[in-house]
Amino acid sequence: MSLKDLTTQNVLRHKPYIPGKQPANFEQTIKLNTNENPYPPSPEISKSILEQIDSLSRYPNSSADSLRSTIAQLHNVDDEQVIVGNGSDDILNLCVRCFSDHSKPLGMLDPSYSLYEVLGSLQGAEVKKFAFPDSKFEINPEVISQSGTNLFFFDKPTCPYWKNL
């Protein structure tokens, strides 16, 4: 029996994620397309991280209770309304895993962030793409409300160059 025989059909049909183009000379480039910070952390952040080195041998609180509580208080919402993850892609993954599958389509604008389609393919979800009608990158809200999707990713602002990165 091969690995392919053991692999789910969703994964076999899956289209891999292709990250944005990485500049050859990144030391002289400020790259905004992947939300990377071109500057080092402040000395206070560096100090705080170093103070946590001894605790790295233990798993953190898996539900991030303290962080969620702080964020909830800051935004005047309940702790249960705050989701934390390992970056925005992790949160997107959670959303797709919870709200999309072979019977619950995923919607996205086109062009848009290519990871949406990748995550949908891993869930076996039909991915419905909706093109912008013109170069203003505006879309009628009815397109989204009548899309027949269970989850719709709406980027604001939209990057018109996603496909080229």
Residue whose tokens read 């599958």 = 101
Nearest Cα residue to 137 out of 121, 165, 102, 161 = 161
In what side-by-side order are the strands of the sheet with 151-153? 127-131, 106-110, 151-153
At 55, the pLDDT band (50, 70, 90 cuts) reads: confident
Locate 154 and state its tokens: 């709406």
Give the model's pLDDT for residue 161: 52
Give the pTM. 0.69
SS3 103: coil
CATH architecture for residues 86-165: 3-Layer(aba) Sandwich (3.40)
Q: Which residue is listed with tokens 């062009």? A: 111
**pLDDT at 32 (0 to 100):** 67
Residue of higher predicted confidence among 99 and 33? 99
Provide the mean pLDDT of the chain. 85
**What pLDDT, in 10s, does the model give residues 12-46?**
887 777 776 777 776 777 766 666 777 889 999 99
Q: What residues does each domain of the chain span? A: 86-165
Contact 115, 91 (CB under 8 A): no
